[in-house]
Amino acid sequence: MLIGVAKEIKVGEARVGLTPAAVVEYVAHGHEVLVETGAGAGIRADDAAYEAAGATIARTAAEVFARADMIVKVKEPQPAEWKQLHAGQILFTYLHLAADPDQARGLIESGVTAVAYETVTDPRGGLPLLAPMSEVAGRLSIQAAATALQKPNGGRGVLLGGVPGVPPGKVAVIGGGVVGTQAAQMAVGLGAEVTIIDRSLPRLRALDDLFHGRIRTRYATREAIRDEAFTADAVIGAVLIPGASAPKLISRDMLAGMKPGAVLVDVAIDQGGCFETSHPTTHEDPTFVVDGIVHYCVANMPGAVPLTSSEALNNATLPFGLALADHGLAALGRDPHLRNGLNVHAGRIVHPVVAESLGLPFEEPDQLLAA
């Protein structure tokens, strides 16, 4: 199969669909890889690195889109890209279609078969191609909190680790899933005092075991969230209710009870945010202050560390991408978890939840795939 990698064109996106190391794997499986010149610039992988990995360099994105049997990307295709997709081609990338009717229409009209990273599942009910980015965002959230807590950045002037003779800072993590666990790991590593709040008791038990008493856990009542927010130097918002907007767990009137200069990091901002006063920000201008509380609400946190993020994403996508390359659409029949990633095929929406969110008819893909 000819695998195509174009340079990401969404504003601020520096990751790349395939790293040179992933290219080596596709080539070892007998596939050809066509990479647009400069596609790896954001991760400091130049054309020579891709050629050394066995790829051929294309001069334009148009060449990649025209020739590839499968396009492997990071971000959802932009209008200029979806116009170049065509029937008989596989697109493997993040799509987040449910909230993007224009893109859905573009993909339907193109006739492409689109497999979305975010709906691929694993046997434990997890989302294996979302998890690596949650891991990155969770770890980064503590770096963001530590930076925002510094006085010149508007924060209270607290060093999370403290020093001998001075107590460490307090971090409250609301939501103890992938993001929350990684945030807690980093905060513990810095020497902070850490509390994880979750509404799932089994999750709190697992976290208690994992951290061997190094963190406190609390069940997520309103009172617990209020208590922890009022004594924290930094609060990390890391909740997720799958398929729903994030619940607002810290209201504006609660900010007055928090320590002046404390920091709220709303990782759940990509689901609408879990603090009432949050609004999405960018890496160029990541924070703002409301009632003396510093807010960090970057919706695309992994974009700040494209090297780590691209590698982490490629590690997770590689086995699924190779299966698609090796077996074509038959790979969807062999692996029900990969099949859950199928969102669009032959001009139809073939994922029930995505179809419902878009208000479009859902079509069972079986017959379409067999056709």
Ligand X SMILES: NC(=O)c1ccc[n+]([C@@H]2O[C@H](COP(=O)([O-])OP(=O)(O)OC[C@H]3O[C@@H](n4cnc5c(N)ncnc54)[C@H](O)[C@@H]3O)[C@@H](O)[C@H]2O)c1
Q: What are the residue numbers of the active site?
A: 96, 270
State yes or no: residue 120 binds ligand X (CB under 6 A).
no
Contacts of 337 (CB under 8 A, 6+ apart): 120, 121, 122, 123, 128
Between 129 and 220, whose beta carbon lies closer to ligand X?
A: 220
Q: For residues 244-263, which are near ligand X according to CB under 6 A?
A: 246-247, 249
CA nearest to 71, candidates 98, 93, 102: 93
State yes or no: residue 278 binds ligand X (CB under 6 A).
no
State yes or no: residue 306 binds ligand X (CB under 6 A).
no
DSSP string, 239-266: ---TTSPPP--B-HHHHTTSPTT-EEEE
Contact pattern from residue 197 through residue 216 relative to ligand X, giving x for each residue in contact according to CB under 6 A and a dash for the rest:
xxxx--x-------------
CA torsion through residues 288, 254, 236, 303, sign: negative
Residue 219 forms beta bridges with which residues?
198
Between 106 and 341, whose beta carbon lies closer to ligand X?
A: 341
State yes or no: residue 112 binds ligand X (CB under 6 A).
no
What are residue 93's phi and psi, to 5 degrees? -170, 175
State yes or no: residue 195 binds ligand X (CB under 6 A).
no
State yes or no: residue 301 binds ligand X (CB under 6 A).
yes
Q: For residues 121-150, which are near ligand X according to CB under 6 A?
A: 133-134, 137
Q: Point out the residue whose Cβ comes nearest to ligand X.
A: 177
> Which span sits near ligand X by CB under 6 A: 58-66, 90-98, 295-303, 346-354?
295-303
Q: Is 217 helix (H, G, I), strand (E, B) or coil?
A: strand
Determine if residue 253 is left, alpha or beta; phi over 0 gives left, psi from -120 to 50 gives alpha, anything else beta.
alpha
Which residues would be at the binding site for ligand X (CB under 6 A)? 133-134, 137, 174-180, 197-200, 203, 220, 238-241, 246-247, 249, 267-271, 299-302
